[in-house]
Amino acid sequence: MQPTITASELARAFRAGTTNPVEALEHYLEKAQATEHVFVALTAERARAEAAASAERWRKGTPRSALDGVPVAWKDLFDVRGTVTTAGAAVFTAHAPADRDAKLVELADRAGLVCLGKTNLVEFAYSGLGLNPHFGTPRNPHDAKVARVPGGSSSGSAVAVAVGAAPVAIGTDTAGSIRVPAAFNGLVGFKSSSRRYAQDGVFPLSRTLDSLGPLARSVEDCIALDAIFSGRTAPDLASVDLAQQRFVVDEGVLHDARVEPAVRANLEAAVSDLRAHGVRVEARRVEALHEVLGLIERIGWLAAPEALVVHEALMASPDAERLDPRVRKRLELARNFPASDYVKLLWARERLVERVRHDLDGAVVVLPTVAHVAPELAPLERDMDLFFKANFATLRLTMVGSFLDMPGVALPTGLDAAGLPTSFLLSVPSGDDERILSTALAVEALRKG
Residue ranges covered by each domain of the chain:
7-229, 244-448
Q: Could you give the CA distance from residue 426 to residue 439 in angstroms, rounded to a whole number?
A: 9
Q: For this structure, is 145 an active site residue?
A: no
Q: Could you give the CA distance from residue 6 to residue 23 in angstroms, rounded to a whole number?
A: 16
Q: What is the pLDDT of residue 233?
A: 72
Q: Could you give the CA distance from residue 96 to residue 85 in angstroms, rounded to a whole number?
A: 9
**7-229 and 244-448 share one fold:** yes
Which residues lie closer than 8 Å to 208 by C-beta, 6 or more apart?
Answer: 194, 302, 303, 306, 346, 349
Q: For this structure, is 153 an active site residue?
A: yes
Helices (H), 361-417: 377-382, 384-403
Query: Active site residue: 54, 153, 155, 211, which one?
Result: 153
Q: What is the pLDDT of residue 89?
A: 98
CATH number assigned to the domain covering 7-229:
3.90.1300.10
Across the chain, which has 449 residues, the per-10-residue mean pLDDT values are 91 98 98 98 98 98 97 99 98 98 98 98 98 98 98 98 98 98 98 98 98 98 97 82 96 97 98 97 98 98 98 98 98 98 98 98 98 98 98 98 98 98 98 97 93
Amino acid at 244: Q
Q: What is the pLDDT of residue 237?
A: 80
Q: For this structure, is 75 an active site residue?
A: yes
Query: Active site residue: 127, 177, 193, 427, which one?
Result: 177
Q: What is the pLDDT of residue 116?
A: 98
Q: Which CATH architecture has domain 244-448?
A: Alpha-Beta Complex (3.90)
* Cα dihedral 437/441/443/446 (nearest 10): -170
Show the beta-strand stretches assigned E in 314-430: 364-368, 408-415, 421-427
Taking the whole predicted model, whether its pTM rises above 0.95 is answered as yes
Q: Could you give the CA distance from residue 197 to residue 131 in angstroms, rounded to a whole number?
A: 27
